Chain A
């Protein structure tokens, strides 16, 4: 239910990672909103969301008649903390920023 296995299983699927990306970009979406522009059926999205909820990677909150889905980063944070110490964090942030900058389209020309 809340163990690391469930988190890794949930993350080991591109469609589910895509749903998390969409929530990261805009948090608090309904099932209908999440389905928009995806090549998946509504049923498939609902099934993936259930797996993400079971792994506690997605939480929801009812607003009126709507069920809004939110990305829940707490389990990922706990996994990261297991192997990343606070002393590694600034160096890892710097590396991640470097990778993002180098890989961003059209920005490599700026770097000497």
Chain B
């Protein structure tokens, strides 16, 4: 008996594969989530000079290292997509594992950074700046973890040459997470 193919995968009203279109809509909704958060930060930052003082305590080196890590993991994600386009499932899976490794490194640096901040008394309840810091970075970190889990599942399939189109989809998501960090970095770590 043949496996049923969901109707959604066989039609494309926009000329874009349904799964990919759905992923773009996810990214669209994420723009509003992170955009709202960043816009709120911007308002408070421009309103209160004191936020500049609070921001002076953030760890720029950790932020820069994490930016480097995410940019590099984005390179691996696009190379995974490139390999999938060529039908090279195992190679795509390999690049996806490297991307997951980038995510792990990001989280390790973040954990070290947070440990330092908390040990110096800067917690989520210290003031509104630090509330924003932990909320924004925490939400972003959750997206990194979610992306790594999905990537692991997709890599498991990709190594056997299955569902290779999903390599591109998870790559799009990962690049978006990278872009969010690209904006968080100057806002939180550089503008002091």
Binding between chains A and B: no
Name A residues whose Cβ lies closer than 8 Å to a Cβ of B: none
Name B residues whose Cβ lies closer than 8 Å to a Cβ of A: none
